[in-house]
Amino acid sequence: MKQDIRLIAMDLDGTALNSKKELTGRTRDAIEQAVKRGIYVVVATGRTFSSLAPAVLELKELSCAITSNGAVINQIPDGQILHADYLSAEAVWKITKMAETEKVDTEVCTGGSAYIGQDYYDKVLAGKSDRDITYVKTTRHPVPDIYEFMRAHKDSIENINLNFDTLEEKLRWQKRLREYPEITPTSSFLYNVEVGGKNTSKAQALLHLMEQWQLSREQVMAFGDSENDLEMLNMAGTGVAMANAEETVQRAADLTAESNDRDGVAKVIEDLLKGSV
């Protein structure tokens, strides 16, 4: 290999997983070959641990999973928490009050699972939002009052997901949230804002692992497609954007892989192992 890559981090949705939320055989094989060469491989996702695709949990080669946009590092496959960086209780109170006042469709991650207000859950299942119905139905747990649920779990909130009907609403909320230094707002799809703790990000979680494994940034390759991958791609020695990635992500990357529906992650790893990257 031309590069001394010792750690590969990959986002899941839109990156390692194809549009059908599948981890293809070619991608699994590439991961296995990388691990055989002594490379650590981790997934870095906005999903909670319980929302990880079964195919991901079955990958015994994975060193661990960075979940909830970096709030938690979980051991694979049992989910043991290796590191956690939750929102402060004060930040949870503040965001809860704001969301409740404007009746924002809200989801919250805690304890490795994702919860959703019953009204919003019914709205999604009725097809009145842009959300993937199957994904929400299989990964979200509806609760009667999401805002009361947030207050009850204020000390262990991994991530808060605010969902909007228009891009204008999203941008307005992003601007407001960036004024609060105790939180980190990001996004993984067009109409949402995901709120983490003051220093929470995939990049920070990755830095924690790099310190533990005594690795430098030059030894890291990271794959992503969305805003919540930007810091990770910028931090890594080699940042790889998918062909289907947002334009800002592609501009920030060192390399562009083929799309997630064309085994882009697998092809770059294969080239890396051949020494042609």
* Residues 94 and 180 sit within 8 Å (Cβ to Cβ): yes
Q: Could you give the dihedral angle defined by the CA atoms of residues 171, 177, 179 and 185, in that order, rounded to the nearest 10 degrees? A: -100
Q: Write down the pLDDT at residue 186.
A: 93
CA dist., res. 157 & res. 153, Å (int): 6
The CATH fold of domain 89-197: 3.30.1240
Reduced to 3 states, what is the DSSP secondary structure of residue 227?
Answer: helix
Among candidate residues 178, 159, 162, the one with its CA nearest the CA of residue 92: 159
What is the pLDDT, as a whole number, of residue 2?
59
**241-245-246-252 Cα dihedral, nearest 10 degrees:** 0
Structure tokens at 163: 């969902």
Measure the CA–CA gap between 109 and 47, rounded to whole angstroms: 9
- The pLDDT value recorded for residue 27 is 98
- Going from the C-alpha of 188 to that of each of 143, 162, 170, 193, the distances in angstroms are 23, 11, 12, 8
pLDDT per 10-residue tile (average), the chain, 277 residues:
86 96 96 97 97 92 96 96 97 96 97 97 94 94 98 98 95 94 92 95 97 97 97 97 96 97 98 91
d(CA 213, CA 184): 26
H or E element at residue 118? helix 118-125
Residues 241, 257: Cα–Cα separation, whole Å: 6
Q: φ, ψ for residue 238 (rounded to 5)?
A: -130, 105
**Would the pTM count as exceeding 0.85?**
yes
E strands, 6-91, in order: 7-10, 40-44, 64-67, 72-74, 81-84
Give which of 72, 87, 83 is closest to 151, Cα–Cα.
Answer: 87
Residues of the chain with CATH 3.40.50.1000: 7-85+201-274
Return the C-alpha torsion angle 48, 51, 55, 61, nearest 10.
20
Return the pLDDT at 1. Answer: 46
Residues of the chain with CATH 3.30.1240.10: 89-197
- Best CATH choice for the domain 7-85+201-274 from the list 3.10.105.10, 3.30.565.10, 1.10.3720.10, 3.40.50.1000: 3.40.50.1000
